[in-house]
Structure 1
Amino acid sequence: MTNRQRVTIVTGASRRIAIGAAVVRRIAADGAAVLVHSWEPHDREQEWGADPGGAEALVAEVRRAGGRAEHVAADLADPGAPRRLVEAARDAFGAVDAIVANHARSSGQALEDLTAAELDLSYAVNTRATLLLVQAFAAQHDPARGGGRVVLFTSGQYHGAMPGELPYIASKAALHEVTRSLAVHLMPRNITVNCVNPGPNDTGYATEEVRADVAARNPGGRWSTPADTAALVAWLLSDAAAWVTGQTIASDGGWSSR
């Protein structure tokens, strides 16, 4: 099955400048039907702020270009939300063929700031919701429709320290480590599972000083972009990647946090 036939859920696409939106644009342009997930209240808590109406505007953009897209807002801290996303995609498009679990909760807690409540919430959103989403997807996958695809997202904590983001990196590192086990379990059902580390992406949150520092330490002399990440995700969703599973792949231009 090519991307042209796949029905794909993309989580975490609240902000039009960010990775989730770039993935939606790319795979919709390839012909996939897309259920766009967002949760704007999380973005309002962050320094970069929300993109009010961003997900609805993204869906409208896809439709104007001739694509198929629907939007569902859901708090993935709710353990029932992953199943409801899969049900919504099936109601809208008749099936679900792929999951792109791009969503992430960030809290900016270092060791001295660490709270049990934030650890639990980050785990619930970043790890638990992702696993429950994969579970709900796999339970309804119809092998007759062709190969299923799961793309998880981790962070760069395995390349370099991120001491100011402990709940985030702990919950994202879990996805890195669970990728191979999910892949082995689901490959007999013709579902691949891979994980993407997008590297430092310039999505509107960095200061000019940070932008210059990261660019200087990248061999390519620049940041990763959401379009870079979207290109990798689109390939992992394609038939060309049918024999690639259990991998964590960095799309970062060789960046190092040294």
Structure 2
Amino acid sequence: MSTLNGKTALVTGGSRGIGRATCRRLAAEGALVAVHYGSDDAAAKGTLAEIEAAGGRAFPIKARLGGEGDTDTVIAALESGLREHTGRAHLDVLVNNAALGGPPYEDRSGFDELFAVNVRAPYFLTLGALPLMGSGGRVINIGSAVTRIALPGELAYAMTKAAIETLTRNAANELGARGITINTVNPGPTRTDRTAAFMDLPQVQEAVAASQALERVGRPSDIADVVAFLAADNSRWLTANVIDASGGSYLGPKRLG
């Protein structure tokens, strides 16, 4: 039985990787999915084609995050798309997935852009989406295990994801009275189209296996399945949680002696 029949969802950064897997999974559960993306038209069309080929429903929203008016553009396009497809501007699920990563940010402009996309955008997207939500609404943030695991070169990125965890806990306390839940899902090492060249290296796979309880590199579908659970009614009593979906990364020594 589909768990999201009649529901609507917005997934930011939905054209690739974890975002694409999440869009596909929510659509497979019956949701109408707004697939947000920044600039890659071909990737977005690919996501939409996969959803429609599987019998799902979706529509695109193109808007680059990080600049002035970015979240207003997304919300306006979302409202328009929802009215076109359902006759009303009602949102059930918001997945704040879009984020920048990459090398260390040693200059101010790169640092500011990182926080604009990874922190400011989900904050204001959440605020903009709340008027469209009713009781039973879900906000799901995609964080990262780097808030728990200190990795070289990830300081600024980890700071942005720590902010998302703080957003989750504080917003949950305010949104509970409206029957809206908010949780964060923290992936660990995950193979996406962008990380495949690195994650497919035998030495990297060996290192990941040696450092995780579940001895393999993660897949986008591993994260999408957790998001789908949080989006459905079975998660109704969960809020303010940071869920480690890393396969048990860096839990400590696996064997002694």
TM-score over 0.5 for the alignment? yes
Number of the residue aligned with 2:128: 136
Deviations 1:2-23 (A, max 9, x none): 51122100011232xx111111
Q: Which residue does 2:230 correspond to in 1? A: 236
Q: Residue in 2 aligned with 1:82?
A: 71
Tell me which amino acid in the other structure corresponds to 1:127. Answer: V
TM-score by length of 2: 0.88
In the alignment, the residues of structure 2 paired with residue 189 and residue 84 of structure 1 have an alpha-carbon distance, to the nearest angstrom, of: 25
Distance 1:27 1:70 in 2: 13
CA distance in 2, matches of 1:56, 1:101: 20
Deviation at 1:191, TM superposition (A): 0.9
Aligned length: 240
CA distance in 2, matches of 1:171, 1:158: 9
Look up the match of 1:96.
Answer: 91
Q: Deviations over 1:72-124 (max 9, x none)?
A: 12111124222322222222223211110111111311xxx611111111110
Distance 1:115 1:62 in 2: 39
Q: Check whether the contact 1:32–1:68 (CA below 8 A) recurs between aligned residues.
A: yes
* Aligned counterparts of 1:57 and 1:217: Cα–Cα separation in 2: 34
Cα deviation 1:34-67 (Å, max 9, x = unaligned): 00011247xxxxxxxxxx6111111122112221
Q: Which runs of 5+ in 2 are unaligned?
A: 83-87, 253-257
1:226 corresponds to 2:246: no
Residue 83 to residue 2, structure 1, CA distance change in 2 (3 Å):
farther
1:91 alignment partner, SS class: helix
- How far apart are residue 252 of structure 1 and its match? 1.4
One-letter identity of the residue aligned with 2:234 = A
SS of the residue corresponding to residue 116 of structure 2 reads: helix
* Aligned structure 1 segments of 4 or more residues deviating by more than 4 angstroms: none
Q: State the Cα distance separating 1:33 from its structure 2 match.
A: 0.4
Q: Which residue of 1 is the match for residue 24 of structure 2? A: 25
Structure-1-length-normalised TM-score: 0.87
Q: How far is the alpha carbon of 1:158 from its aligned partner? A: 2.7
Partner of 2:43: 54
Cα pair 1:106 1:168 within 8 Å, conserved: yes
Structure 1 pair 255–179 and aligned structure 2 pair: CA distance change class (3 A):
same
1:176 aligns with 2:176: no
Task: Return the offset for 1:147.
Answer: 0.7
Task: Find the residue that maps to 2:149 and give its secondary structure.
Answer: coil
Once residues 257 and 211 of structure 1 are traced to their aligned partners in structure 2, the CA distance between those partners, rounded to angstroms, is 17
For the Cα contact (< 8 Å) 1:86–1:96, is it kept in 2? Answer: no
Q: 1:46 is matched with which residue?
A: none
Larger RCO, structure (CA 8 Å, separation 6 or more): 1
SS at match of 2:49: helix
- Provide the C-alpha distance between the structure 2 equivalents of 1:90 and 1:96, rounded to a whole number of angstroms: 9
Match of 1:45 in 2: none
Partner in structure 1 of residue 100 of structure 2: 105
Counterpart of 1:172, as a letter, is K
Name the stretch that deviates more: 216-225 or 188-197. 216-225
Instruction: Write the letter of the residue equivalent to 1:27.
Output: L
Distance 1:128 1:10 in 2: 16
Q: Match of 1:5?
A: 6
Letter of the 2:42 partner, please give it: G
| CA RMSD of superposed structures (Å) | 1.8
User: 1:116 and 2:108 equivalent?
Assistant: yes
Aligned-partner SS, 2:181:
strand
Paired AA for residue 215 in structure 1 = A
Identity of aligned residues (%): 36
